[in-house]
A and B are shown apart, each in its own frame.
Chain A
Amino acid sequence: MRRPWDRAKEDLSEELEFHLKMAISERVARGEDPAQARTAALRELGNMPLIEDVTRERWGWMWLENLLRDTRYAVRGFRRNPLFTISVLVTLALGIGSTTAVFSVVDRILFRPLPYANADRIVSLGFVHSLERQEFVMGRFYVEWQKEQTAFSALTAQSTGVHNCDLVEDNPAQLGCISFQANFLPLFGISPFLGRNFLPEEDRPNGPRVVMISYGLWKSHYNSDPNILGRMINVDGHFVRIVGVLPKDFQLPTLETADIVTPFALDPAVQQTVNGGFGYPERVFTRLKPGVSVAQAYAQMKPLFNGDLKRFPPSAKNEVHLSIRTLRDKETQDVRPVAWVLFGFVLAVLLMACTNVAGLMMARGAGRQRELAVRSAIGASRGRLIRQALTEALLLSFAGGLAGLALSQALVMVFVRLAPTGIPFISKAHLDLRIAVFAALLSCLCGLIFGLTAALEKPALAALNAKASMSRSRAFLRRTLVTAQLAVSIILLSGAVLLLRSFANIEQENLGMQTDGVLTMKVALPWWRYNTDQKIMDFYLRLESSLKRLPGTFAVGMATSIPPEAGGSQSFRYSDLQVEGKPPVPPGVGGTVTGRSVTPDYFRALNIPIVRGRNFAEQDRTGGEREAILSRLLAARLFPGEDPIGKRFKSDGFQGHAGMIIVGVADNVKNNGLTDQSDPEMYTLRRNVPSDWSGNRLIVVIHSAMPASAIAPWVRSEVVSIDRTVPVEIEPLNQTISRMADRPRFETTLLGFFALTGLMLAVIGLYGLISFITTQRRHEIGVRMALGATRGNILGLIATDGLRMVGVGLVLGLGTALAVSRMLKSLLFQVSAYDPLTYIVVPLLLSLAALIAILIPARAGMRVDPAVTLRAE
C-alpha cells in the first residue's frame, strides 16, 4: 500500500540526490577526480537522512507518520518478545484491576462522604451498655437534653428500629416502618423527592395521620405515580395520608431500610411516666455547633449524663456509659479494621505491580542498548528514540490499563456477589473510574519513567560492540526491587494464611448442636392483629401441634432465637441473678448471660444434650412452678462444686417472678455469634401462660427425617392453613450458619486473592530478572562451559544468585510480617497473630514458587551451547 507521504518522501530524496549530483558534476567540471569529488560533496552536504528528517518536519504532518511508524515498530518489538509483553500486560492488568476493584469497595467505607449535608458534623449521641453498643437515649432524658444541652445546634430522634407493618389493600404487602421527628430530614440536609416533610403539627401526639414513603416503594408498589401525594393508604389498619416521597438515595443513619416513615410524635408527658419513668428508648442524632469538637461535646454532655445516672438502679450505674461518635464512626466502626487491612494489601499490590513494570522496562531498556546505539549511529535523533520509547510505554500501558479495567469490573461484580449482608455500602460499590485512572496512571508512570531512562541515556559508543549489559547501579536497583517484592509478598501471604486458618477454625467450630436436617422458620405475626399475648400464644400452640403431626417430624421446638445468635433482648447481666442462700454478686461483675425462652422440644430438635437433671416436660407447661435449665458454663459459675438441680434463684431481669427452680443442666452451645466467646446461658420454659408468649417474633425449629426441600412446602402450608397473612421465612439451619460465616469467608477470599496476586507479581518479577540475567550471561556461561564447567555448575551459578535474593526477601518479609500481623488480630479467630504454622508454611510456599521461577530460566542457561555463543561474538 502506498501512503501519500511515501510519494512525498521519494520526491524529497530525489531532490537531495539531484543536489548531490549537481555538486559532484560541478566539482568534476572544475577538474577534480570524480571519486574525490563525490566524497567532498557528500561531506559538504552533511547527514542526508537527518536533513530529510528535518525537512520533512516542515511538512507539519510528520507527527502522524511518526506515531504510526513508532506504533508499528513497537508492536513488532512486542511480538518479537512475547514474554516481556505478556509479563507487563499481566502485571498491569492485575495491579490496576485488583487495586481498582478493592478500592471501589473500600472507598465507600473509608473515604466517601455520607449522603448528608456536612456529614462530619452529625454525631450519634446516647447511652451504651454491654448489651447494647449502639447509642440509645431514653425518652425522658431526651426531653431533658433538648432543653439543657449546649453542644449541639439541633437534636433529632428516630425510633429504635424498623418494625414490620402491613399495607392493607387489594395488593397487600408487609413493609418496614420507622418513625422520626419533623426536624430529622432538615438536620440531615435532605428534602423529599416529592411532596413535603412532616409539619410540626403532624409531629405531635394525636396529630393528623400522615406518612412519607420511600422512593423504592413509590416506584415498585405505586408505579412511580406522580399523583401519589394526598392518597390515603391503610397501614396496620389505620388510614394515613401520603405527604411525601423520600429521595432515591435516602439512607437512614442506622443503615436500615424502611418503606414507610411516620412522624415520631414525641409526647414529653408520656415519656416521664412510661417504662418505669424512663420513657421509650430512641436513637438520637445531633449536629455539632460550629467549632465544637466531639470531645468538647462529650465534656459538655457529661454533667447532664451524670445527673441522669442518678436515676438508674445501682446495678446499672457502672454498666451505662455516655457515647458520642460521628456518624461515620457509628456506621463503619466494625468494618473499618478489615477495610484498612484491605487498603494496605491494595497499596502493596499496586506498588509491586509498579516495581514489576519498572523492572521489566529496565531490563528491556538494557537489552536494547545496542539497538539504540545502532539507530543513533545511523542518524536517529535523540528525540526520535525517546518518542519511540514513549510510544512503546504508552501502548503497553494502554493495553494493560484496558485489561485492568475489564478485570476490575469483573472483580467488583464478584465482590458484590460474594459480600455478606451487613457490610455497609457494599451493594452500592461500583467501578470507580477515578480510582481506575489513578491506578492506571501510577503503573504507567512507573513504566514510563523506567522505560524512558533507558532511552534518555546517551547511547554509549561502547554499546555498539559490547554485549547488552546493565549498568551496575541499575542491576543493584533491580535486585533490590525484586527482593522487596518477595518480602512484601511474604507479608501478604502470611496475612492471608492467618485468615485462612482462622476461617477454617470458624468452619470447624463445634456449635454444640446439630444443624443437619434441621429447618428453621422465622415467624413474624402482624402485631396490629395479634395484639394480645393470648392471641399470640393461641397461634403458636396451634402451629406447634399441627407441625408435630407432619410425617417424618422428630421434634418441633420454639424459641425467641436460636444459637449461635445471642439471646438478644432476653439477655441479662450475670449480676442480676440471685441464688437463694448465697450472697448477691456485686453489680457489674460477671458479664452477660444469654437468656432464651423455649418449648420443651427445643433441646431435642437441636439435639442439645441434657447433661444433668432432666429436660422440660410437657406437664411443666401447665404446672405452677417456673422451671429453668442452665448451660454447663452457667451451672459451673453459679454452683461451683455443687449440684444445681433443685436450687432456686431469682432474677432482676425477670421482674415479678416468684423465683425459678433449676431442673437440668444442658451442654454448652455457641451463643454469641460464631467467633465470639460463648456466654453462659439460661433457658426458661415457655409455659401455656399468655405472658410467656409476648412479643410477636418467634423461631420454630423442626427436626425432620425428610429433606428440607420436601418438608418446607408442607410447613408453609400449615402456617397458611392457620393464618394466610402471616409472613414466614424458612431456611435449613446449616444454611443459616453458613451465612453467618459469610463475612469471614468474604474477608478471607478477598485477602487470599490479594496475596495470590502479590505472589504472582513477585514470581513474575523474580522470573523476569533471572531470565534476563541468564540471557546477559550467555557469553560468560559459554566461556565457562568451554573451560569445563558442568551443567550442574551453571545451574548452581544462576540459582545461587536467585536464591540469595529469595533468602534476603524471606528474612525481611518474615520480620515485617511478624511486626505488622498484630493489625490483623481483630479479624482472627482462635489463631495467634504469631501462629507458628503460618510462618513455616508461608516461606515454604514462597520458596517453592520462587524456586520454579528460578529454575525455568536457569535450565535455559544450562542448555547454552558454548560453540554457538562463542561464535556469535
Chain B
Amino acid sequence: MTESAKYQNRIELLQGTLDMLILQALQRESTHGYAIAQMIRSRSGEVLTVETGSLYPALHRLERQNWVRSEWKLTESKQRAKYYQLTALGRKQLASNHQRWLQLVRAIGAVMEPEVQQ
C-alpha cells in the first residue's frame, strides 16, 4: 500500500467520527487546527490522537461542505492563524451526528451487555 493510500484509509476509518469530533470541538468557539487537535486529545484523556494528515484534509472537506467557515485571525500571541467556525448547517449536522452516535452506542451496549439493560 502506498503512503498516500494509508492516509486516505485512515480518514476513511474515522470519517464519521472524526467529523463529529471536529464539529463538537468547534461548538463553543471558533479556533484553529492545532487547537482542535489538542482539544480532542486532552478531552479524550490523551486516548484519541488526530493525525495532522487526517485533520487538515477533514477540515478542508468540511469547509467545502459548508459545515464550517474559516477566516484568518491573529492569535493571543499575535500570530496569523486560520480560524474555523461552525455554520448553521454544521450545527445541524453535529446534532444529527450526535444523535446517530448515541443510538449506535446504545445499540452496541445492548448487544455487548444485555444484562445491564434488563
Could you list which residues of chain A lie within 8 angstroms of chain B, going by C-beta atoms?
Answer: 11-12, 14-16, 18-19, 21-23, 26, 44-47, 50-51, 53-60, 381-383
Asked if A15 and B79 sit within 8 Å, CB to CB, the answer is no
Contacts known (A55-B56, A58-B61); A11 close to B79, Cβ less than 8 A: no
Is the pair B64, A54 in contact by a Cβ cutoff of 8 Å? no
Q: Which residues of B sit under 8 angstroms from A51, Cβ to Cβ?
A: 7, 52-53, 56-57
- Contact yes or no, A15 B57, CB < 8 A: no
Q: What residues of chain B lie closer than 8 Å to A18, measured between beta carbons?
A: 32-34, 79-82
Q: Are B81 and A50 in contact (CB under 8 A)?
A: no
The verdict on B115 contacting chain A, using a C-beta distance below 8 Å, is no
Is B7 a contact of A54 with CB atoms below 8 Å?
yes
B17 part of interface (Cβ distance < 8 Å): no
Binary interface profile of B, 59-103, with partner A (CB < 8 Å = 1, else 0)?
Answer: 011001000000010000001111000000000000000000000
Q: Tell me the chain B residues, 1-60 only, with Cβ under 8 Å from chain A.
A: 2-4, 7-8, 32-35, 37-38, 51-53, 56-57, 60
Given contacts A19-B34, A19-B52, A58-B60, contact A53 B4 (CB under 8 A): yes
**Chain A residues with CB below 8 A from B57, complex form:** 51, 54-55, 57-58
- B37, B53, B72: the one within 8 Å of A46 (CB): B53
Could you tell me the distance in whole angstroms from the C-beta of A535 to the nearest C-beta in chain B? 95
Q: Which 10 A-B pairs have the closest CB atoms?
A: A381-B4, A22-B34, A58-B61, A58-B60, A55-B57, A55-B56, A51-B53, A15-B82, A19-B34, A382-B2
Query: Can you list 9 contacts pairing A with B, beta carbon distance less than 8 Å?
Result: A12-B56, A14-B82, A18-B34, A19-B34, A47-B53, A55-B57, A59-B60, A59-B64, A382-B4
Q: Determine the residue in chain B with the shortest Cβ distance to A56.
A: B60
Minimum Cβ distance to chain B for residue A527 (Å): 86
Tally the A-B contacts, defined by beta carbons under 8 Å: 73
Asked whether, in the complex, the Cβ of A21 is within 8 Å of the Cβ of B79, the reply is yes
Question: How many Å lie between the Cα of A46 and that of B50 in the bound state?
Answer: 12
Measured between alpha carbons, how far is A56 from B82 in the docked complex, in Å?
16
Interface residue tally on B, bucketed by range: 20 to 34
Bound form: Cα–Cα A50–B56 in Å: 12
Q: How far is the CA of A53 from the CA of B5 in the complex (A)?
A: 12
| Complex Cα spacing A11 to B56, Å | 12
> Whole-angstrom distance between the alpha carbons of A505 and B34 in the complex?
89
List chain A residues, Cβ under 8 A from B7: 50-51, 54
CB-CB under 8 A for A58 and B52, given A19-B34, A47-B3: no
Of the candidates A19, A22, A60, A381, the one whose C-beta lies within 8 Å of that of B64 is: A60
Q: Of A12, A16, A26, which contacts B52 at CB under 8 A?
A: A16
- Beyond known contacts A15-B82, A18-B33: 19 more, CB 8 A cutoff: A12-B60, A14-B82, A15-B32, A15-B33, A15-B56, A15-B81, A16-B52, A16-B56, A18-B32, A18-B81, A19-B34, A19-B52, A22-B34, A44-B52, A51-B7, A51-B52, A54-B53, A58-B64, A381-B2
Most B Cβ at <10 Å: residue of A18, A23, A57 = A18
Closest to A53 in B: B4
Query: With the chains together, A55 CA to B64 CA distance in Å?
Result: 11
Instruction: Count chain A CB atoms within 10 A of each CB in B56, B79, B81 and give the residue with the most.
Output: B56
Contacts of A382 in B (CB 8 A): 2, 4
Supposing A18-B32, A19-B52 touch, asked if A50 and B3 sit within 8 A by C-beta, the answer is: yes
A54 B52 Cβ-Cβ under 8 A: no
Given A46-B52, A51-B53, A55-B60, A19 and B33 contact (CB-CB distance below 8 Å): yes
- Give chain A residues whose Cβ lies under 8 Å from the Cβ of B82: 11, 14-15, 18
